[in-house]
Amino acid sequence: MKKSLLAKAEQFKPKVDLAVVETAAELYHDLIRRKGDLEEELKTASKAVEEMAMVTLPDLLDSVGIDHVGVPAKGNHAAFDVVMKPYYRATIAAAWTEERKAAAFAALSSLKAGDLIRRTVTISIPNTNPRAEELAMRFVGMADKVGLESEVAKTVPWNSLTSWVKERVEDGKPLPPLDVIGATVGRKATIKERK
């Protein structure tokens, strides 16, 4: 009687003992620890890069009255230029307190930018409901009629808010205090590699 293909394949399967399993487990443990170390190192490096780009280099370039600097090639490093560019970032974070969000929304509304504000509606439908799919497709107004919990949240998309801040700054129009709307405006050093 011929052996099945599976039985034939079994003869080529490597034999594994407990020492091999322990070695693999130790390697796995070491990899997890190394990954954690690298993630922490990445956080530290990211903070240092941000500090250099947003504070150190802009301050240094300002101190000598220039907005860019060329760095010649050295050894294996190609020549590059550091150039100052405007920087804008604004976000009303979901993690903010309701009071802080309300202040940000009020600040935008006071400058006639209330159209940036969006309302997000979340409806919770238990999967055990046999009509879950049908109910999910209905409008928010239906939530109260069928006894479902719903939540309405006001938000401002960060990219819309950032664009609005940039436009107002560049047009010289008034802004609310930047911290109220989660905005950062400044200059950022960028590196342009030379070809």
pLDDT for res 146: 76
pLDDT for res 9: 63
Q: Is the pLDDT of residue 139 over 70?
A: no
Q: Is the pLDDT of residue 125 over 50?
A: yes
2 pLDDT band, cuts 50/70/90, is low
What whole-number distance in Å separates Cα of residue 191 and Cα of residue 69?
A: 10
Q: Sign of the CA dihedral 168, 155, 87, 78? A: negative
**To the nearest whole number, what is the mean pLDDT of the chain?**
87
Could you tell me which residues are beta bridge partners of residue 88?
Answer: 185
What whole-number distance in Å separates Cα of residue 54 and Cα of residue 188?
A: 5
What whole-number distance in Å separates Cα of residue 112 and Cα of residue 116?
A: 9
Q: Is the pLDDT of residue 1 over 50?
A: no
pLDDT greater at residue 99 or residue 14: 99
* Lowest model confidence (mean pLDDT) among 30-34, 147-151, 154-158: 147-151
The two tokens of residue 169 are 């700054």
134 pLDDT band, cuts 50/70/90, is confident
User: Stretch 159-178: mean pLDDT, rounded?
Assistant: 95
pLDDT for res 126: 72
H helix or E strand, kind and range, residue 46: helix 18-51
What whole-number distance in Å separates Cα of residue 37 and Cα of residue 31?
A: 10
Question: Which of these, 184, 190, 188, lies nearest to 55 by C-alpha position?
Answer: 188
User: Stretch 101-118: mean pLDDT, rounded?
Assistant: 94
Judge whether 102 and 92 are in contact, CB under 8 Å. Answer: no
pLDDT tens column, 80-108: 999 999 999 999 999 999 999 999 999 99
Q: Nearest-5° angle of CA 176, CA 158, CA 162?
A: 55
Judge whether 181 and 92 are in contact, CB under 8 Å. Answer: yes
